[in-house]
Chains A and B, each alone.
Chain A
């Protein structure tokens, strides 16, 4: 059974006098345990697709089902809080919190069961991603880009969700770190049975995914 099902989703905006469709009658089913990448040129609607899949934006037409339930019925806020997590290109960590506090923050927000004490759980999680305690308790502004992205990924996993959406997660990282991050995503899909959807420009990143998708003319096409 699919975890995320997009059914006839359309989304567009008014450009001058005519409506420009970004997503047009798009249907696709995403499954657990798989690492997806979505490719496409700039302006093709990749970020919009991710925003709709992540409940940051409402569909204009069609519907989005999570485990068979319409996310509008779940409620977008609750959907974001309980069922998925985001990893952004800019990391989007809260700057005045430490690494571990950023992770604990989402644990406090989610309704999902997370082992307590949260701080210990967060430190263990961060340690798994190579962020040792001394670094975890530093302000995130004092960590490198790669370390911040690992913190962001750890934050994404901290709430025990099955769907991870990432928008150009390695866009700001060097090649070595990029490979390391992609390795983590693959591991999340294979070892933790998560559904990982990564939007990217990079053919290199895409080549490491289970399923490569291309967003073309508002529709998702499987490349392999």
Chain B
């Protein structure tokens, strides 16, 4: 192990060379570290954005594909089936991977999925019930045909409106899984309707639905839950569309209750469920979930949208930055290896005599190369350790400056509206600002991964840049080295 001591002695006695090599290593390490930090920051920003945007995916119509096929004559408009009315169903769309109930249920059968919900709305009429109105706060019954109510079908145990805080169950319960799956006639009504009509849990009432070929079907529902709504509806919309648009006049019934209205199972399967949400367990699994879904069904007339437009708009410049910084790291590493390799080659060449002496006294070639590698490695480790202070300061500032400028550009371009008009994206500017705020607080300080990457790179640089020139010299035998020098 004396080769280690020789290495230390060399470093101590050749201070000039040691400092020069150390300085070069430090410069390289700072650039590499800065590059790694920027790359790391952009990765984190991507993850943070994905998390901020959320783990919700919508299974929406791909109108472009549908219209394209229609224009090309591949798809006949008449073949699409019943595209009119409140409840739309189409076998063609179902087979073409559109967002139908059957396809939706197939997609959500995944380990990535935390919860899901679909909602389909249609109107029902009740002759016996009083409707909630804004004017008098007292119920009214529409003309002689009865009061119109909005029905929202749901498939999740707890409908989405309740999980996102739009509504709150005040008494009773939600439908059980069994009731949802078997489509039992259970219903959730709003507390104002309950009060106006003196309805209590366990009561039943009858409504008339006409979603199937305009035939009226009377159905009795049992109240299992009473809720309070927090949804505020624009009065102008109510003025145009009527009081049934008020969220108080909404009934929640299980999706499969459509069977009791007279729909066949196959017809229910083909119902378009464009208002849906799939909540994943982890937002970072969105791409994997999409891939899995596309393996299950060929999603032609549908599209899984995870606010991709917003994500791409926010992340495009940052992704580019990450890629550029990655390329820079490689270029710096290669250039660094070449510079250090050159210096080491010159140093090793100068030390031919020493190599000859050591070989002449019986030292093994391996130990001689190990000594040289150790010398450079010690310098590299010290330089790279120092760079964890200087480089992290530099990298953090560069990352912050670059991320801030990228975010500002992103923020500006996000507000031009292009990002929000596609698909079913519905987030408002506040949400975008929230996302950007979270993104700009991304932790871009040094972490063990970056340090390990840096250490690995430093060691690789020192080993590569030393071993190659050393091996070149080692090709000579000691006599050649010593006689060339002595002659």
User: Which residues in A have some Cβ–Cβ distance to B below 8 Å?
Assistant: 47, 51, 54, 56-57, 77-78, 80-82, 85-86, 88-90, 92-97, 101, 104-106, 108-110, 139, 155
Contacts and interface: CB of A to CB of B under 8 A. Distances in A.
A110 B362 contact: yes
Interface in B337-373: 353-354, 356-364
A94 B362 contact: no
A108 B362 contact: no
Main secondary structure of the interface of B (DSSP, over half): helix
B443 to A, nearest CB: 45
A109 B479 contact: no
30 contacts: A47-B483, A51-B483, A56-B360, A56-B477, A56-B478, A77-B359, A77-B362, A77-B364, A78-B362, A80-B359, A80-B361, A80-B362, A81-B361, A86-B361, A90-B485, A90-B486, A92-B360, A93-B357, A94-B6, A95-B354, A96-B10, A96-B14, A97-B9, A101-B9, A104-B2, A105-B6, A108-B1, A109-B358, A109-B363, A139-B13
A47 B480 CA distance: 11
A144 B152 CA distance: 103
Contacts of B358: 94, 109
B196 interface: no
Contacts of B353: 92
Contact of A89 (B357, B479, B486): B486
B354 A56 contact: no
Given A106-B361, A109-B2, A109-B362, A92 B482 contact: yes
A18 B478 CA distance: 26
B9 A92 contact: no
A86 B9 contact: no
Contacts of A86: 360-361
B480 to A, nearest CB: 9
B479 A57 contact: yes
Given A78-B362, A81-B363, A90-B485, 11 more contacts: A51-B483, A77-B362, A80-B359, A80-B361, A88-B482, A92-B482, A94-B6, A94-B357, A96-B10, A109-B358, A110-B361
A51 B482 CA distance: 10
A78 B482 CA distance: 19
Contacts of A94: 6, 354, 357-358
A57 B357 contact: no
Interface in B444-487: 477-479, 482-483, 485-486
Interface in B1-46: 1-2, 6, 9-10, 12-14
Contacts of B14: 96
The 7 nearest A-B residue pairs measured at CB = A81-B362, A108-B2, A96-B13, A56-B479, A51-B479, A80-B362, A92-B357
